[in-house]
Chains A and B, each alone.
Chain A
Amino acid sequence: MAQVMLDQVSKTYPNGHVAVHGMDLDIADGEFLVLVGPSGCGKSTLLRMIAGLESITGGELRIGDRVVNDVHPGDRDIAMVFQNYALYPHYTVARNIAYPLRLAKRPKDEIDRRVREVAAMLELTDYLDRKPGQLSGGQRQRVAMGRAIIRDAALFLMDEPLSNLDAKLRVQMRGEIARLQRRVGTTMVYVTHDQVEAMTMGHRVAVLKEGRLQQIGTPDEIYRSPANTFVASFMGTPPMNLVEARLRTGKGGTEVVLGGVDVPLPAAERGYPEGPVTVGVRPEHLLDASILGDTARHVRIPAIVEYVEALGAEKNVYVTLGAIRGDATSAGAPIACRFPAESAVVADAKVELALDPARIHLFDAESGAALR
């Protein structure tokens, strides 16, 4: 087990393309860190740099007390699970799992014992004599995990390990991997492009975009106070609604105009100068006023329903703000709201939204950075 420290780590390819810009990350011993971002954001490159499969062109990488920039991948004490599992097709499951120990020339009875332990932990005991080609996707995934944990490595790296599984299995394995990591307590760096995996699995989440770290924090922090509009729109389904608006000083202090309604901002957000701003509101914070009852803190905003996605337990309702269609403030993509199932909204009807001003996020209109 080890902590991992990245100090201004960067990757520049010989053609000048910069895949990772000076990255600072501090991963605690035993932590489960998720690297998330859209494809091409540099997350896999970063993982492969930690593994030693890609060279580091700038900065310093430490695993434990060692600077490992120039340490051979095999000597970094790292176990990695690949997206395609990389199981050795010519070996049985038992041989696959045993491979690292056999290379380390451990005694045969110890290898046997460890393979049995790991197989039992991963429910692979009945498949030890099979070849990878005879296994299902979920079983292959578990063999790859087994090969990683048998080594007692200081660090686990996982490169989108669930992306080849079907949706149901993915949900199941999500829980299994998180449980397994808690059980063995090994530091883990997990790469995914799936924000649900990022939110549900890790202790902390690092959001990457174009080779730069956007934000790092617990899933809750990332979700509740995104550092910029990219993080805000990347995490959450449907993503946070982002609306161009203006701040102005009205009778109730600093206000922002949404759907023709003046929404007074809470005291904490009043210090900002007037001018253009990006307003962010999560879908679940736009409520159906007709089933909310009377509350003083909510502002009512008129809107027109564009379409409704009924998901069973709830409804995703897409609206344009304003009392009439074509209102100046309603330009752009429809606004997503998450209503409970009992909401009676229908498409093309008018609806009144209720919004607690305290739930509003403000971002700089130009840089997209959160105004806090």
Chain B
Amino acid sequence: MTTTAPGPAGTASAGAGPAAPRRLPGLRRAGKAGRTRKTKRIDGPQQRGMMRTALLFLLPLLAFYLVFYVFGFVFLARTSLQRTDLSFLDPESVGLENYRLLFTDDRFIRALLNNVVFAAAAVAGALTLGFFLAVVLSTGMRGRKVFYAVFLVPSLMPVALVASVFGGMMENRYGTLNETLRSAHLDFLAGHWLTEPGLAYAVVIGIFVYLVGLPIMYYTADLSALNTSLLEAAVLDGASFWQLLRTMLFPLMRTTHKTVVVSILLMSFRAFEIVFFSTKGGPAGGTEISGTYVYNYATSPGPRVGYASAAAVVVLLLALLLSAIQLRFTGKSEE
């Protein structure tokens, strides 16, 4: 549940007062209806009292949710139908024009595609490299705690920091990477990492894959709960290490694969910092993703906030769709 839309959340607090109390009676009614339908048997004065208490406890969070999510989204959706700038003064209603423009903009389509490509690369990295590292680290090798730290710490640090460091290291003239290559007389390997389209793309993919710590953690948790006699049985049946990986460990981690895939897909929508702090979406929008696209339009001069809002709405709906898929997946695996 995240939106890359800048702005609206900050201005929304003005509506906090009236919004929350007005919605309360309606919520109550909904609660009652739900109760009579589902739990007829335990209906009674006591239950009604409990329901009231439960609602009371929910209230603060509901208010927060209404202000920052519901109001924020409504504001965003309304703005997406307007031509306006960041001052939100004198908006001009343009209907669905922003959306029409959006879907005819190759740059937006490419940003969405890049989202998918980067996510796919991160998923591939997690399912192969992340999974493999988790397995190796779970075998109880020496120094595994150090390695855990090495892989996990980048994932715990702000992504902006990691991306900035990468960006700095990859800089053409004074970046550590090129300096190192040059001092090792490997000048021919030094490249315009952030400005040459292919290389920039590779760098962003590299950062996505580099943040493999979280998948490693998911896999390690699942591996530690694994019934070891399954592996012992497979070893006695003659399985080699690779056969163990392929026929036992990988298929047995199925639920974790799902978690990893969906969480990375969702993460890719908020991977704004990765791109912004390394290539800034460049060169020429080559590594742009939906987040940087929205940001670039919203902050560029001119009345483009409505257009950026439309892009944010589309991205948000896509993220919601992914969340729904995730919920269905997890629901299935619990059966």
Hey, which bits of chain A sit against chain B, CB under 8 A?
51-53, 73-74, 76, 78-80, 82-84, 86, 88-90, 99-100, 103-104, 147, 151
Closest to B251 in A: A90
CB distance from A208 to the nearest CB of B (A): 21
Closest to A147 in B: B237
**Mask for B247-259, Cβ within 8 A of A = 1, else 0?**
1100110100000
CB neighbours of B254 from chain A (8 A): 90
Instruction: Assess the B229–A74 pair: CB atoms within 8 A.
Output: no
Instruction: Assess the B236–A88 pair: CB atoms within 8 A.
Output: no
Instruction: Give Cα A200 to B186, complex, Å.
Output: 76
Interface centre among B233, B234, B243, B248 (most CB of A within 10 A): B233
Closest to B252 in A: A90
The tally of residues in B whose CB lies under 8 Å from a CB in A reads 18
Nearest 10 A/B pairs, CB to CB: A86-B233, A100-B237, A86-B229, A74-B238, A103-B238, A82-B229, A90-B251, A80-B236, A86-B230, A73-B235
Instruction: Assess the A88–B230 pair: CB atoms within 8 A.
Output: yes
Instruction: Assess the A53–B232 pair: CB atoms within 8 A.
Output: yes
CB neighbours of A103 from chain B (8 A): 237-239, 243, 247
CB neighbours of B251 from chain A (8 A): 90
Those of B250-272 within 8 Å (CB) of chain A: 251-252, 254
Interface centre among B229, B236, B251 (most CB of A within 10 A): B236
A-B contact pairs, 21 of them (CB 8 A): A53-B235, A73-B236, A74-B235, A74-B237, A74-B238, A74-B240, A78-B236, A80-B232, A82-B232, A82-B233, A86-B227, A86-B232, A88-B234, A88-B248, A99-B237, A99-B247, A100-B237, A103-B238, A103-B239, A103-B243, A151-B237
Instruction: Assess the A80–B233 pair: CB atoms within 8 A.
Output: yes
Instruction: Give Cα A141 to B243, complex, Å.
Output: 24
Instruction: Give Cα A90 to B254, complex, Å.
Output: 9
Closest to B231 in A: A86
CB distance from A322 to the nearest CB of B (A): 52
Instruction: Give Cα A245 to B76, complex, Å.
Output: 95
CB neighbours of A53 from chain B (8 A): 232, 235-236
CB distance from A286 to the nearest CB of B (A): 44
CB neighbours of A151 from chain B (8 A): 237
CB neighbours of A74 from chain B (8 A): 235-240
Q: Given that A88-B248, A90-B251 are contacting pairs, would A79 and B236 also be in contact in the complex, using a CB cutoff of 8 Å?
A: yes
CB neighbours of A88 from chain B (8 A): 230, 233-234, 248
Instruction: Give Cα A88 to B230, complex, Å.
Output: 7
Instruction: Give Cα A53 to B227, complex, Å.
Output: 15
